[in-house]
Amino acid sequence: MIITNEVKKALEEQIPIVALESTVLAHGLPFPQNIEVFEKLENIVRENGCIPATIGVLKGEVKIGLTKDDVKKLIENDPLKIGTRELPYAIAMKKYAATTVSSTAYIASTIGINVFATGGIGGVHRGEWDVSQDIFELSKTNIIVVSAGCKSILDIEKTLEFLESFQILVVGYKTNKFPVFYNGLSKFKIFETNTPLEIANIFKAKNKYNLNSSILVANPVPKEYIIPIDETEKYIKLIEKEMTARHLKGKEVTPYMLKRLVELSNGKTLKSNIALLENNVKLACKIAKLI
């Protein structure tokens, strides 16, 4: 494992760190927006008094603290999309690999990073049995994950049921409804918090009683970037037909859906995705400074 000197120093001096995933860069956003977003998110973390730690796998080496050149190499080398399960394969086979929520959370937690910002977690897909590794990893990993809830392409109710079953505490930030991007708030109730300090205190209380699951902080997408659910559902139904015809399953599903959503919405979902990422990173920094 390679940990950059900046991240090492932050750990030693107890400077707050915010972990960031690489799958959103390699598989969630098109080029060149992915590079632009990487730079923007890293800058936001620094501007808010924290150290960024983007995580990925380069030729079999796990690296915590990817540089711009690292991200370019990752994207250019057709990286695998890996959860925790696939991590040993990527390492042993000397692969380039982008880390999802599950593998990023796991790797970050192993060196003592307490806060991780992402777009949205994986969950339970509609239709055939398809449950993300994210849920299983968050059930046993001690970290705060700041997200905009989960994507509207998922089965929201079943995703929340799984989160409850696996003892992953879900708290809304200034809301008691579970957010769904790109559509704002769902009808499903969750616990509400109103300040970063409240979230930090919940994390401290959890650790005091040795509860080793994650806390999922659900931070709604900014109102000006919400896309009406009727609009996205229209796109999703069309995309589902396309995936059935192409026999797409497993890890192929989410990247394909996100790519087609950008195309069908004329870029509206891309703008929303970038806005919620920035919003989540800002909140993650506020929380990290209080732990």
Q: How far apart are CA 176 and CA 178, in angstroms?
A: 7
Give the residue extent of every domain in the chain: 2-288
Annotated binding site: 81, 101, 130, 132-134
Confidence of residue 123 (pLDDT cuts 50, 70, 90): very high
How much is the pTM?
0.93
Locus of tokens 């989540």: 280
Q: How far apart are CA 206 and CA 211, in angstroms?
A: 5
User: Which CATH number among 3.40.1390.20, 3.40.1790.10, 3.40.640.10, 3.40.50.10490 corresponds to the domain 2-288?
Assistant: 3.40.1790.10
What share of the chain in percent tops pLDDT 90?
84
pLDDT tens profile 223-282? 999 998 889 889 988 998 998 899 888 777 877 888 898 899 999 999 999 999 999 999
Residues annotated catalytic, as ranges = 21, 151
